[in-house]
Chains A and B, each alone.
Chain A
Amino acid sequence: MADRKNINPPDRTAILFTEVESHRGYLMRYAIAKLRDTEQAEEVVQEALLAALEGVDGFSGQSSLRTWLTSILKFKIIDLQRRVISERAKLVTAPEEDESADPEWVDRMFDETGHWSPQIREWANPDAALAQKQFFEAFERCMDKLPGATSRVFFKREVMGADTDDICKEEGISASNCWVMLHRARLALRECLDRSWFQGGR
């Protein structure tokens, strides 16, 4: 009778590696939201994944693997930020988007009287999609289509659950600019999920 505890250590490592590796895309987006720099994000994610594989015995299984990996990543991000700050003064970043009129693609969702065009259609059983890996991949592809700052603000607000005021401060933008960016992100993501998943595009 096969005993699961007797899986050979190399096999266990391989299984673990695949499991941990499957969270890389999420961790990259988390790191980019915090660091705004793809290269730095790759560096910290790599460090975090290595640390996780080395310290896997510290994973109690009480939280999800994703939550545990995120907590390791947070420390790596703080480490990196300390190193960067000690090397050079903190960058003052200009807002990447202003709060001027809606871009054309927003206008195209509405007719000239401001009504939905096309009409919003119902999503059939959306919660069932939450159990599907492919649906989360579609969600990632949709997030990747957003402009950098918009994607970052959405990620901080809806994925990390950060307070809008804190996001504004971190990003150096006004509250109204923040709302505009969040609104555009939601409009675009809703439209993208509708087109790529719920209306038979999968």
Chain B
Amino acid sequence: MNQATELACKEAARLMSRRRDAALSPDEQESLRNHLYDCLGCRRFEEQLDFLRRLAQRYGETGPKVADDPA
């Protein structure tokens, strides 16, 4: 057994957010990895956080970019 504890989604979400801003401890990384392996909802949440970042970056660079000449 290791020190990593079982997480609920609420805590996993907090860690997924924090690792975008700072490094997690090895225990936190391990707990999160285990949680994500079992939890479809949190994997979707993480994908959506990635998308939110792409959206914010696009928003700061060009705004909506209409695809090359819609036919």
Contact = CB atoms under 8 A, between A and B. Distances in A.
Interface string A55-71: 00000000011110010
B42 to A, nearest CB: 7
A75 interface: no
Contact of B63 (A26, A113, A126, A164): A26
A123 B48 contact: yes
Contacts of A130: 54-55, 58, 64-65
B67 interface: yes
Contact of B57 (A22, A127, A161, A178): A161
A189 B65 CA distance: 21
Given A157-B21, A158-B57, A116 B52 contact: no
Residue in B18, B41, B45, B59 with the greatest tally of chain A CB atoms within 10 Å: B59
Nearest to B49: A186
Contacts of A110: 8-10
Chain B interface SS verdict (over half): helix
Contacts of A187: 13, 17
B22 interface: yes
A120 interface: yes
B21 A158 contact: no
A159 B10 contact: no
A4 interface: no
A23 interface: yes
Contacts of B47: 123
Interface string B3-16: 00000111101100
Would you list the 9 A-B pairs with minimal beta carbon distance, nearest first?
Answer: A114-B8, A158-B56, A183-B17, A114-B10, A159-B60, A120-B41, A64-B62, A164-B21, A120-B44
Interface of B: 8-11, 13-14, 17-18, 20-22, 41-42, 44-45, 47-49, 51-67
